[in-house]
Amino acid sequence: MGSASGAAWLFSRPADLLLLGVPIWVTWLVCFSLPNEVLARQLPLWVWAVVIVGIDVSHVWSTLFRTYLDPQEFRRHRLLLLRAPLVAFTIFFCLAGLSTLWFWRVMAYLALFHFVRQQFGFFALYAARFRRRQRHLLVGDSGIIYLATLYPVAHWHLSGERNFAWFVDDDFLTASALPLEPLLTIANAAYWILIGFWCWEEIRGCRRQHLPLPTGKLLWLLTTAGTWYLGIVHFNSDIAFTMTNVVAHGLPYITLVAYYDRQKNMKRTGIAAGDDVAVASSTHLWSRVSFMVGVILLLAFGEEYLWDMLLFREKAVLFAAAFAYPVEVLSTPAAQALALALLALPQVTHYIVDGFIWKNDERNPEMRALLA
């Protein structure tokens, strides 16, 4: 992931800023620029199509190129990739049959765990690239990234009703009756003080040892904290929450999958990053990325088409306008439970396998090679 001189970055300085930073910062600017009356509205359909279908659902399907569609990776993780869908379907079919609310509640907390772990995972990759751990007085590396993500979620649970939900209304268990506003105001300040203190210690440690700053690592932490705080605590808005949450999660993941696929193919063909051959093959590499993006967009559209056709019928103006619905909405509880379990399967499988395929250990030798 770059030369030793570029150890402060995950891919490279331009790539990290352009693909992992700028899109997220733009969502902040959009949210701050929108009038309150606009932020108070529900997510517009065109924004939903771009953000949810184009980024969120698409990033789930991009996992295919890291697992099932990569013969080497499939062989390496064969048992996991075969068992995960079966286990996921069994559990969530039973949940959907017992209670639709608890189906969505378990989905929401599983998604939350996955989102938090991804932020931790990228942070750990930055730390591994920098190859130096700074000792911190109050909160270490793991603690600070978990603080950046979990405190806004705790605020959500304790502060009462929000004008947004993760999937459906009441999917999180909130304590809206508790009079905690004064304590939460103090906690908000403490949150930023701790994050600022951690950054100061990190910078001071590097300067004392005459080392370059871990700029990418610092930016990832601050961007994570800003996204989760603004999307959950500062803006009580469905638009703000969805845009900040999805863009900060989906685009980095798609970037990582595309980069991983690119590096593996360059290694397979014996191409080094600086070779003239690599430059000549850039068209081929970009065509692979374009193919991947096209496939995941089609799969994401197809999945959401089925959700709306079989269960919701809320976005027919988008989906039925493209392809008229050939069947009626499902009406029996058993059919609905089956549809819920099947349609959630790509997402839940993505949550499960992601906990294994990106680990920097002997099961994933390419990860170690990429961090070298």
| pLDDT tens-digit series, residues 196-246 | 999 999 999 988 888 889 999 999 999 999 999 999 999 999 999 999 999
Alpha carbons 125 and 359: distance in angstroms, whole number: 10
Compare 51 and 272 and report the one with higher pLDDT. 51
How does 80-109 read in b/e, with b if 16+ C-beta sit within 10 Å? Answer: bbeebbeebbeebbebbbeeeeebbbbbbe
Residue 279 CA: distances (Å) to CA of 255, 276, 282, 341: 20, 5, 5, 45
Contact 108, 347 (CB under 8 A): no
Report CA dihedral (251, 256, 262, 264) to the nearest 10 degrees: -160
Instruction: Render 53-84 in DSSP notation, one character per residue.
Output: IIIIIHHHHHGGGGTTT-HHHHHHTHHHHHHH
Alpha carbons 312 and 249: distance in angstroms, whole number: 25
Residue 60 CA: distances (Å) to CA of 66, 169, 231, 318, 339: 11, 23, 21, 21, 18
Confidence at residue 287, expressed as pLDDT on a 0 to 100 scale: 81
Give the residue-averaged pLDDT of 276-297: 73
Compare 251 and 134 and report the one with higher pLDDT. 251
Contact 81, 67 (CB under 8 A): yes
**293: CB partners within 8 A, 6+ apart:** 58, 254
Give the residue-averaged pLDDT of 82-90: 97
Task: Flag the least confident range among 149-158, 166-175, 343-352.
Answer: 166-175
Alpha carbons 147 and 224: distance in angstroms, whole number: 10
Return the ∠ at Cα 122 (arms to 116 and 128), rounded to 5°. 135
Neighbouring C-beta atoms of residue 310, cutoff 10 Å: 20
How do the domains of the chain map onto residue ranges?
4-371
Element (H, E) at 185: helix 181-208
Each residue's pLDDT tens digit, 22-76? 999 999 999 999 999 999 999 999 999 999 999 999 999 999 999 999 999 999 9
Compare 310 and 133 and report the one with higher pLDDT. 310
Most confident of 178-182, 185-189, 259-263: 185-189
